[in-house]
Amino acid sequence: MLRGEAMRTEVLQYIVEVDKEQSISQAARNLFISKSALSESISQLEQELNVAIFIRQKKGIATTETGQKIIAQAKSVLQELEKFYTIGYTSPALVDYDEAIKFGISEKFAKAGLNTCLSLVIHKYPRLNLRTVSMNYSGCIDGVANGDLAFAVIAYPTDLDQEISKLIKASSIVQIPMHDDNFVCLVNKNSPVAQKSVISSKDYNEYTMISYGDMVPEKIFGRQKLLLLTELDNILQMVNDNVGIAPLPFSLIKNSDISGWDNITTIPVADSIQRNCIIYSSERPLTTAQSFFVNLYKRVFDKIFSS
């Protein structure tokens, strides 16, 4: 075992992620660890097994033939571990909890695992009183800081990293990172931009932007023409009618049915990323029931990106 200890399942997740990305740097960003820590963990595993799982190249890495076999087994172990947790999440609780939990959630997360989590939690803890409040990231931070919310699931573009970090630090808030979310752009098939294989935020200036109303467009998109809406169906209708283009988080699109919109196609956005995280106050630690929901939500949300 590694350094005389039981092998951690995180190491299996590490090699699976590196194999998927074929890049140590990108895998490290996805896993929220440093590149050096990821490289060291993989090197330790290779030394323990006395095999090469990856070959380091000038541009990225390549998985060896032996590495492919190891990673296939790692995926199998992680799948079995997921079944282990599923049994625990869906079985009757040893101790029931009777409390009210009010938490904030960004509208963009509504399709990304929330319904699954609510269903599992309610079945396991039928006496819990859950109340979700949909608001933007700043409202969630204020609510957690003043104690109105037990915790919140928030999303914001990486353009706002410094601003959010200052708010969180000033409010004594703990941040639990989840997978970052690449943006994809919904465009009408008849729009000139539909001919591009990938777009950048610079391309936004040429078109009417259609966005959720809880974003901060002047800080992200500049002062070009904007159409702010609060319902996904309305956004889809506007794109379908070729009114404009709509950059949206990958998780939202992946978990939404846009197949019925014949005039809409999606294009990856090269330089826009959404930060996803769960926050709570360090001055009011999570209860056991709250921790259960938070851990479950993170697991379900992150699974969206590995499926």
- For 179-226, how does the pLDDT look when each residue is reduced to its tens digit (9 = 90+)? 888 888 899 999 988 888 888 877 777 888 888 765 554 555 554 577
Burial 62-76 (b: 16+ CB within 10 A, else e): ebbeebeebbeebbe
pTM confidence score: 0.71
**Domains and their CATH numbers in the chain:** 2-90 (1.10.10.10), 100-179+276-306 (3.40.190.10), 181-272 (3.40.190.10)
Three-state SS for 56? Answer: strand
Residue closest to 109 by CA, chosen among 291, 281, 274, 288: 274
- Mean pLDDT, the chain, integer: 83
Query: Mind listing the pLDDT tens digit for each residue in 4-13?
Result: 444 578 899 8
Low-confidence ranges of the chain (pLDDT < 70): 1-7, 32, 93-94, 107-112, 213-224, 305-307
